[in-house]
């Protein structure tokens, strides 16, 4: 099973709303390493939206594939 959700680095400005859409055949999550909101398991077509109000670098991963499905949101002023 190969997941198609896009995990990678994305740079956004403070206040940007980011939406993930799961294209996984199984279940995928967007889970942040330093805690915070968690999408919970999402099946294909489900979405998860977060607004980034604080500058910083936020690493996230999929709980079901934590080594390959990783990403970072970089929030700048
Ligand atoms: Cu996954």
Q: How far is the CA of 41 from the centre of ligand 1 (A)?
A: 9
- Give the pLDDT band of residue 61 (cuts 50, 70, 90): very high
Q: How far is the CA of 48 from the centre of ligand 1 (A)?
A: 14
Over the stretch 9-18, which tens digit does the pLDDT of each residue have? 899 999 999 9
Q: Which domains does the chain have, with CATH numbers?
A: 9-76 (2.60.40.420)
> Average pLDDT of 13-33?
92
Q: How far is the CA of 11 from the centre of ligand 1 (A)?
A: 21
Q: Which runs of consecutive H residues, i.e. helices, occur in the chain?
A: none
Note the pTM of the prediction, 2 decimals: 0.86
40: nearest Cα among 58, 64, 66, 73: 64
Q: How far is the CA of 22 from the centre of ligand 1 (A)?
A: 9
Question: In the prediction, which pLDDT does 76 show?
Answer: 96
DSSP label of 51: E
Q: Does the structure show a pLDDT above 90 at 71?
A: yes
Q: How far is the CA of 69 from the centre of ligand 1 (A)?
A: 6
Over the stretch 36-57, which tens digit does the pLDDT of each residue have? 899 999 999 999 999 999 999 9
CB atoms within 10 A of CB 47: 10
């Amino acid at each position: 099973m190969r997941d198609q959700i896009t995990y990678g680095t994305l740079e956004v400005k403070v206040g940007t709303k980011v939406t993930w859409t799961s294209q996984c055949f199984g279940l995928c999550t967007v889970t942040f390493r330093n805690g915070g909101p968690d999408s919970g398991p999402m099946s294909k077509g489900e979405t998860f939206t977060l607004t980034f109000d604080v500058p910083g670098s936020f690493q996230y991963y999929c709980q079901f594939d934590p080594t390959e499905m990783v990403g970072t949101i970089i929030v700048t002023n």
